Amino acid sequence: MKELNKLFNRIVQRVNINLRELNFDVSPFAVELIPLDQMSKFYAFYGITPDHPLDLHFEHSAIAGSYFLGKSRVRNSILYKSDIRGDELKRKGCDVNFNKFILTLTKDEIIDIEDSVLIKTLVHNYSHDPETPEKFFIKDTLAMDYVNIHGSPSDGCFLGPFATVDLTTMRDCVIGAYSYVQAGEISHLKVDPGTIWVNSHNNFNFFYKYPAEALEHYVSLSPDKVPWGILIDFIDERKSEFQRVFDYVNLEVIESIPKTASLDRYAVVLPVIKIADNVLVAQRAYIENSNLGKGANAQENCFIINSTLEGNNVTAHGAKIIEADLKPNVFVGFNSFLFGKKESRLTINEGCVIMPHTIIDIEVPLEIPAEHLVWGLVRNKEELAENSISLKKLSEIKSIFSQGKMCFEGNGAMFVGAFKERIHHILHANGAFYKNWENAGHAQKNQRLSLNTIQPFQFGVNEGMYPNIRIQP
């Protein structure tokens, strides 16, 4: 274990050096970040598929409980129960367009993780940095529980629990707990907890910030108690079900899954579910007493409990849907928490967009009208009125608009159009539109996925570390 401790301390100091100008010390938050004595007790695993290049390289690293798919390299890093999903990395020969520039890739893109600690973190998509189209880099970065690093290269950053950085290159930044940032490129920036920020230069800017006292109830971070809140408690209460899935080599096969759908081996399914054609359920998803209609998906770290999704629903990474009924074509963004109750169900009508990191926590029934955008904290009808707008009305905005704690400026039609285009892309990539052997996506391709495990050192100075390994076809 000596080498593991040495590596961990070295990474913490590297992150601190990068954040010195922000006067932010990650050391207090790192103390209880991972149980180093548990690192030798979990295997890592990787997927093999004919649809993605097999090239994995692990060097002087600990990767306990982590999952790898696609071309990845991990050096001098600690990953604990993280998902490194490279099934959408760019391939050699493809053209990358950026403004007026077109670049043809001369090699496959790779996820390159170096001198970083990622705890229960999802890394997905491909680099959207036009300067590094062939390398999705994560360097000198510390990410806490249930962070999403989505298409976002990172150098010298700290991300608090449940933070998401989406399609954004970040350098020397601190991203607060439960913050969502999609801004293209940020540098030497400290983002407060609970900030929801979507910016497209010269096009639009959406900004909302949770009231600190309200957010603390759901997710919070402090040096003496990291992290805590309702979201952590909700996940912890269901840990045992995930342990069962990972402990057994063979589980009972669910015969009712259509041939056009995909249910991952490492998803939890309890006890009665209905999955329609073209549905994708990713690893570490949790489905209980729920129906997923045609083309719906549940991505990594999603929880869907006692709910109905009627079809072509996107449940983005980390989103949670409890006691809710979603009509077709509803998008639920990253790490959103939709918390209906048995006697007070939540209904979301067709075509709604639930912004990333939205919290809907109700004690009486609530219905969201069709074609609405919803954001922030919603606990009743009054807060819904303050934190929602029809997509039609938003599309008519051409300058500045504010409502409650949300401020929008720019072209509303471009904002709505960008969201709808992205939702369509997600559905297409996941195979929602598959028919007659055309438009295959992850739901169909994942059926040709096999999984393999790798083990760490069990004793001695290298306990918890993994051997240097290169896995190729």
Residues 436 and 466 placed together within one structural domain of the fold: no
Check which CATH number belongs to the domain holding 307 and give it: 2.160.10.10
Mean pLDDT (the chain) is: 95
Residues 424 and 465 placed together within one structural domain of the fold: no
Q: Which residues contact 356 (CB under 8 A, 6 or more apart)?
A: 164, 166, 180, 196, 316, 333, 334, 335, 336
pLDDT in tens, 355-398: 999 999 999 999 999 999 999 999 999 999 999 999 999 999 99
Residues 37 and 78 placed together within one structural domain of the fold: yes
Amino acid type, 255? E
Asked if residue 382 is part of any domain, the answer here is yes
Residues 172 and 201 placed together within one structural domain of the fold: yes
Question: Which pLDDT belongs to residue 252?
Answer: 61
What whole-number distance in Å separates Cα of residue 191 and Cα of residue 181?
9
Six-digit token string for 377:
């904290």
Question: Which pLDDT belongs to residue 267?
Answer: 92
Residues 205 and 275 placed together within one structural domain of the fold: no
Asked if residue 232 is part of any domain, the answer here is no
Q: Count Cβ atoms below 10 Å from residue 21 Cβ, excluding itself.
A: 8
Question: Which pLDDT belongs to residue 31?
Answer: 82
pLDDT in tens, 399-444: 999 999 999 999 999 999 999 999 999 999 999 999 999 999 999 9
Asked if residue 233 is part of any domain, the answer here is no
Assign 34 a pLDDT band (cuts: 50, 70, 90).
confident
Rg (CA), the chain: 21
Residue 250 has pLDDT above 60, yes or no: no
* Distance, C-alpha 178 to centroid of its chain: 12
DSSP state letters, 50-68 = TTS---EEEESBB-TT-EE
DSSP 192: P
Residues 285 and 382 placed together within one structural domain of the fold: yes
Work out the percent of the chain whose per-residue pLDDT is above 90: 87
Query: What pTM was estimated for this model as a whole?
Result: 0.97
Question: Which pLDDT belongs to residue 36?
Answer: 81
What whole-number distance in Å separates Cα of residue 312 and Cα of residue 328?
6
Number of domains in the chain: 2
Question: Which pLDDT belongs to residue 371?
Answer: 98
What whole-number distance in Å separates Cα of residue 463 and Cα of residue 473?
28
Residues 280 and 377 placed together within one structural domain of the fold: yes
Name the least confident of 70-74, 218-222, 280-284. 218-222
Question: Which pLDDT belongs to residue 433?
Answer: 98
Asked if residue 77 is part of any domain, the answer here is yes
Residues 213 and 302 placed together within one structural domain of the fold: no
Report which of 379, 384, 357 is spatially closest to residue 368, judged by C-alpha positions: 384
Residues 331 and 220 placed together within one structural domain of the fold: no
Strands 314-315 and 331-332, by their bridges, are: parallel
Residues 198 and 340 placed together within one structural domain of the fold: no
Residues 203 and 283 placed together within one structural domain of the fold: no
Residue 23 has pLDDT above 60, yes or no: yes
Six-digit token string for 219:
């997710």
Residues 19 and 138 placed together within one structural domain of the fold: yes
Assign 248 a pLDDT band (cuts: 50, 70, 90).
low
Name the least confident of 22-31, 188-197, 249-258. 249-258
Helices (H), 219-263: 230-236, 239-247
Residue 216 has pLDDT above 60, yes or no: yes
Question: Which pLDDT belongs to residue 251?
Answer: 57
Asked if residue 234 is part of any domain, the answer here is no
Residue 404 backbone phi and psi in degrees, to 5? 60, -125
Question: Which pLDDT belongs to residue 255?
Answer: 67
Question: Which pLDDT belongs to residue 242?
Answer: 87
| Full domain range(s) for residue 186 | 2-227+449-471
DSSP state letters, 97-140 = EETTEEEE-SS--EEEEES-EEES-EEES----TT-TTEEEEES
Residue 27 has pLDDT above 80, yes or no: yes
Residue 244 has pLDDT above 80, yes or no: no
Give the C-alpha distances (Å, rounded to integers) separating 448 from 47, 89, 258: 10, 18, 15
Question: Which pLDDT belongs to residue 245?
Answer: 73
Higher pLDDT, 470 or 254: 470
Burial class (CB in 10 A: 0-12, 13-18, 19+), 104: exposed
DSSP state letters, 147-160 = -EEES--EES-EE-
SS3 87: coil
Residue 33 has pLDDT above 90, yes or no: no
